[in-house]
Amino acid sequence: MTSIKNIELKPDEFALYFAGNQGVDLDALANFLKRVSSVARRHGGELVIVGLHEGSLVVKLRAIARSKIAQNAIKEFSDKPIDGSVKVTGLIAAIAGAIIWLMSPTKDVTPIAKAGAEIIDKHQITEISVVTNEKITVVMNEAIAKKIKKKHEIRAVGRASEKRQIAKIVKNQYNLPEIEIMVKDAHQSNLTNEVAIVGDAFHFQPDGYHYWVPIYMRPSSSVQLHPGERYRIGGQIKTLNGQPDQIIAASADLITGGSTK
């Protein structure tokens, strides 16, 4: 079993240490490493796995500048002059520092923190640490995982509540009647308003309703609609995906002397 204190790292490497009596589930580990890689890319680096140690699992990762990958000119930083090693150390510090910061329980729940908390919660790992040549930092344990899980649950409940509140505000703002009431009004010839031409078709927005709906007279009707005139409409409303799609008017009585509704 590899000890966290015995991990040997080159200047361009850091490690993730998973403490526990069993190994890490492969899918869970892959998901966590995917999040770690995303953090590295945001800080200008790509990561490659250079070592895996079973038991208390150690994943050793090497950071490579993305520009060198793009140029197909990847070289070992240990072969570089001193100033090159300093740059590599700075890249490792940036990536490791970002991982530590993003997994902090004092922050909003991030994808990498959620992935780490799930490893603790479901896979019998007691602790996750970020290891560099400078320090060892515990980024996830049972206490932190509980805080992350609780924050995630609160946020999920808050989002659901927010969606319900937005739907309520929208409904109140537009005072949208139920579609069934609009259909009933059409059957009872209680839809009134002006007819307008939108594009190449007549449209109708019944008084008190939010919807502009294409309107057609039944072929058997001799009534001709005129844009700008008010009518009392009766007939059938056809819907599409639960929304009014067409009004097929059986009757259209011209209204004179202003609104009657």
Phi, psi of 58 (to 5 degrees): -120, 125
pLDDT band with cut points at 50, 70 and 90 for residue 171: low
State the number of CA atoms in the 13 A half-sphere of 139 facing the CB.
30
Comparing 201 with 68, the larger pLDDT belongs to 201
CA dist 54 to 19, 34, 190, Å? 11, 20, 76
pLDDT tens figures, 107-147: 778 999 999 999 998 877 899 999 998 889 999 999 999 98
Name the residue with tokens 């070592």: 51
